[in-house]
């Protein structure tokens, strides 16, 4: 049999009795959902100041699964694994402790710590002295050391039951879901957005996912995988939505009409506008971003101020004071780092000298050149799905378009870099025709090219060319490959 006693997060314990009762009830329900997926017969008991989990199984794999499940539930700061006994005398407690800890303390220094609730003829100190003295006398090589012992034996007593702690496990703390209002996280699949989403989940906010697609089907599948992973691991007790917005038309409009240095801030404001419209549609009061102060040009204090003024919707930035390495470290802890590392970076807008001190009046003037019907259209056409339906899709592998280093005769290379990139470093190939068609115009202009030729897409990193080739394949253009010199 396995028994765990779940300790409440300290911030739950200090709340008023009605709030504490509500939080603890939500935690109890969440534990039931997770644990009974592992062991249907497990008992979950709400003891007001803790929640106990009891499984009659003796399968070590079940034990490991129970521990893993409890570690991932928001609201659990730690949980102890115990052996429970009903006692009449102090010697009953000692004998049980001796049996469980004989091998552990043999040849080591140790101390005994006891917490006690209820009415007894002895104190916690009496328990520590009696059990510690017995172990000291009857275990070979064992000796008591109250400061910095090699082993600490923990005993908790409540009325006539003693719980001898065999192991202590740490949880992720925070508040149970959903003790806070729903939020909508702007998910890109990178380090920052994944960690920001996790931080909101562990604070008890049911977190939905909003994805602004800049890279076609391949990009969307990658972000769906990352989103599903976070939901499944940390918030699967509650269903949420995954919403995808095709933002390429918005990017194209910005690239063609907005002054170069202002494009980054304008793009972020368009995302916040779109996010607010989506949030309002689903009755969500806050957006979540992975922005960190000063990390990139659009995240200076001046620029964030200008971005925030585009909407009345609350914008939460849980990573605002984190360093990049701190964010990466958390991503490793929560299991999203490998996905983030493999997630391609998408060149939405690239400014030669992006502004770091945007002025509201300048940005507003630039936005007068933007056709806002495009923004409304992409939001109206947003695809909404239950996160649970991603599981099947998430397992699908994205096929890669064929890449070549050496071009055959008669090949046509399509340079899909932005005009600024192409101007700064033109692509010139001896004996090979090179045409320039920016990635944001591929979808609408590629069909105008003669279709009796083989085309090889080129960009600086090979990421966008690979994605655009896949999109063209999906649209029936199979005469497209990728050029990777």
Q: Distance (Å, rounded) from C-alpha 104 to C-alpha 121?
A: 29
| DSSP H helices in 14-55 | 17-38
Q: Which residue has the tokens 């989990």?
A: 53
Give the burial class of 290: count Cβ atoms within 10 A of its Cβ; 0-12 exposed, 13-18 middle, 19 or more buried. Answer: buried
Rounded CA separation 124/119 (Å): 11
Whole-angstrom Cα distance, residue 199 to residue 207? 10
Pairing, β 2-8 against β 50-55: antiparallel
- Residue found by looking up tokens 């910005």 in the block: 254
Is 268 labeled as ligand-binding?
A: yes
Distance CA 440, CA 443 (A): 7
Q: Are 75 and 12 in contact (CB under 8 A)?
A: yes
* Tokens 């202009």, residue located: 445
**3-class secondary structure per residue, 222-263:** HHHHHHHHHHHHHCCCCCCEEEEEECHHHHHHHHHHCCHHHH
Catalytic residue among 111, 114, 347, 459: 459
Element (H, E) at 466: helix 463-474
Q: Is 299 labeled as ligand-binding?
A: yes
Reply yes or no on whether 459 is catalytic: yes
DSSP secondary structure code for residue 30 in this structure: H
Q: What is the dihedral of CA 103, 109, 115, 121, to 10 degrees?
A: 90
Tokens 């703390």, located at residue: 173
Cα 198 to Cα 331: distance, rounded to the nearest angstrom:
9
For residue 87, the SS3 value is coil
Instruction: Name the helix (H) or strand (E) containing 341.
Output: helix 337-342
Measured CA to CA, the distance from residue 108 to residue 467 in angstroms comes to: 60
- Work out the angle between the directed axes of helices 216-234 and 191-202 (0-180°, nearest 10): 30
186 is in an annotated binding site: yes
**14, 59, 164, 172 from 169: Cα distances, Å:** 22, 19, 14, 10
Closest to 394 in 3D by CA, of 213, 254, 228, 197 = 228
**Three-state DSSP class for residue 154:** strand
Q: Which residues are annotated as a binding site for ATP?
A: 186-187, 268, 290, 299
Residues designated as active site: 459
Q: Which residues are annotated as a binding site?
A: 186-187, 268, 290, 299
């Amino acid at each position: 049999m396995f028994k765990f006693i779940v300790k409440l997060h300290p911030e739950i314990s200090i709340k008023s009795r009605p709030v504490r009762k509500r939080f603890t009830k939500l935690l109890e329900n969440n534990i039931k959902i997770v644990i009974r997926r592992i062991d249907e017969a497990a008992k979950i008991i709400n003891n007001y100041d803790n929640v106990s989990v009891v499984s009659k199984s003796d399968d070590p794999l079940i034990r490991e699964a129970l521990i893993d499940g409890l570690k991932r539930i928001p609201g659990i700061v730690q949980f102890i694994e115990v052996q429970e006994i009903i006692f009449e005398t102090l010697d009953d407690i000692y004998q049980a402790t001796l049996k469980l800890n004989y091998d552990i303390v043999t040849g080591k220094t140790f101390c005994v710590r006891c917490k006690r609730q209820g009415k007894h003829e002895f104190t916690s100190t009496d328990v520590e002295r009696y059990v510690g003295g017995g172990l000291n006398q009857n275990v070979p090589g064992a000796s008591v050391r109250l400061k910095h012992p090699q082993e600490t034996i923990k005993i908790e007593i409540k009325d006539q039951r003693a719980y001898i702690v065999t192991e202590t496990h740490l949880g992720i703390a925070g508040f149970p879901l959903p003790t806070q209002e729903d939020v909508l996280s702007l998910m890109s699949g990178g380090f920052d957005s994944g960690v920001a989403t996790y931080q909101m989940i562990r604070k008890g906010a049911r977190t939905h996912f909003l994805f602004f697609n800049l890279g076609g089907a391949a990009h969307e599948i990658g972000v769906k995988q990352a989103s599903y992973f976070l939901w499944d691991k940390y918030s699967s007790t509650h269903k949420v939505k995954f919403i995808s917005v095709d933002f390429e038309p918005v990017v194209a409009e910005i690239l063609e009409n907005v002054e170069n240095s202002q494009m980054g801030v304008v793009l972020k404001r368009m995302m916040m506008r779109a996010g607010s419209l989506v949030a309002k549609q689903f009755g969500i009061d806050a957006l979540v971003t992975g922005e960190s102060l000063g990390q990139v040009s659009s995240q200076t204090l001046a620029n964030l101020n200008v971005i925030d003024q585009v909407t009345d919707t609350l914008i939460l930035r849980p990573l605002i004071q984190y360093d990049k390495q701190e964010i990466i470290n958390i991503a490793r802890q929560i299991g999203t780092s490998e996905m983030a590392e493999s997630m391609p970076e998408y060149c939405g807008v690239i400014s030669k000298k992006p502004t770091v001190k945007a002025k509201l009046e300048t940005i507003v003037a630039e936005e007068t050149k933007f056709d806002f019907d495009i923004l409304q259209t992409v939001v109206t056409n947003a695809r909404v799905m239950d996160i649970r339906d991603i599981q099947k899709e998430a397992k699908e592998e994205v096929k890669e378009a064929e890449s070549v280093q050496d071009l055959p005769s008669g090949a046509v290379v399509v340079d899909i870099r932005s005009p600024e990139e192409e101007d700064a470093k033109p692509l010139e190939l001896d004996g090979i025709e090179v045409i320039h068609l920016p990635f944001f115009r591929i979808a609408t202009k590629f069909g105008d090219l003669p279709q009796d030729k083989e085309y090889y897409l080129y960009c600086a990193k090979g990421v966008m060319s690979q994605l655009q080739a896949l999109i063209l394949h999906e649209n029936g253009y199979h005469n497209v490959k990728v050029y990777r010199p």
